[in-house]
Amino acid sequence: MTQSNAEPTASHSRIKFLVVASDRDEARRAAFFAGRRARNSNALVTLLHVMEPPEFGHWASVAETMRAEAEEAAEQLLHEFAAEVKAQSGVDPELVMREGDTADEIRNLISEDSDIAFIFLGASKADSGPGPLVTAIAKDPGYLSTRPIPVVIVPGSASRDELRRLAG
């Protein structure tokens, strides 16, 4: 289940920044920063939201209801992120919604779209650590992709003013 509202890059003339959209504050900071960097580097932004599949086996109708509710919430979240990215970059981002394991879907999207050149992730400022994706990448830099892609870790403690300054 993929949605896209951005025009594809026919000649690979514009690189894409991938942002994983979730309801966490650090993901919103990553989207803000990616949008600012995209504007300053003539890049596009792809927003990916991954939904976990419902696990109800023999309760198919319950699972379908949960899936529909999750899709509706995901669409709303993606549109909120898209508004932020457009406000910062001036360009509508590409929206991608998938179901499955987040790391697997990131890897799949990167393998499908050779224009994705950077991944922007927000690091949590919680005492429990920076978050599962950031932690996994710190342990294994090739965790999210089979091809080399720089990962930009946006500090959760950075203010919008600091991120504006860093974005150039």
Max CA distance (Å), the chain: 53
Tell me how many helices (H) and strands (E) the chain has. Answer: 5, 5
Confidence tier at 11 by pLDDT (50, 70, 90):
very low
- Residue 39, pLDDT > 60, answer yes
Helix ranges, the chain (H): 25-41, 60-89, 102-112, 132-139, 160-167
Backbone φ, ψ for residue 38 (5° rounding): -60, -45
User: What is residue 146's predicted lDDT score, i.e. its pLDDT?
Assistant: 78
Give the CATH H-level superfamily of domain 16-150: HUPs (3.40.50.620)
| Residue with token string 């091809």 | 147
pLDDT digits (tens, 9 = 90+) for 92-139: 999 999 999 999 999 999 999 999 999 999 998 887 878 888 888 888
Buried b / exposed e along 48-84 (16+ C-beta atoms within 10 A): bbbbeebeeeeeeeeeeebbeebeeebeebbeebbeb
CA 20 from chain centre, in angstroms, equals: 2
Say which amino acid occupies 16.
K
What are the residue ranges spanned by the domains of the chain?
A: 16-150
| Residue with token string 């919008």 | 160
Residues whose CB is less than 8 angstroms from the CB of residue 81 and which lie 6 or more positions away in sequence, other chains included: 19, 21, 27, 28, 31, 47, 49, 93
Cβ-contact 95, 78 below 8 angstroms: yes
Span 63-84, average pLDDT: 90
Say which amino acid occupies 23.
D
Confidence tier at 59 by pLDDT (50, 70, 90):
low
User: What is residue 140's predicted lDDT score, i.e. its pLDDT?
Assistant: 82
- Residue 58, pLDDT > 70, answer no
- Residue 142, pLDDT > 90, answer no
User: What is residue 6's predicted lDDT score, i.e. its pLDDT?
Assistant: 46
Q: Which of 15, 17, 4 is nearest to 154 (CA)?
A: 17
CA 64 from chain centre, in angstroms, equals: 25
pLDDT, greater one: 68 or 43: 43
User: What is residue 84's predicted lDDT score, i.e. its pLDDT?
Assistant: 97
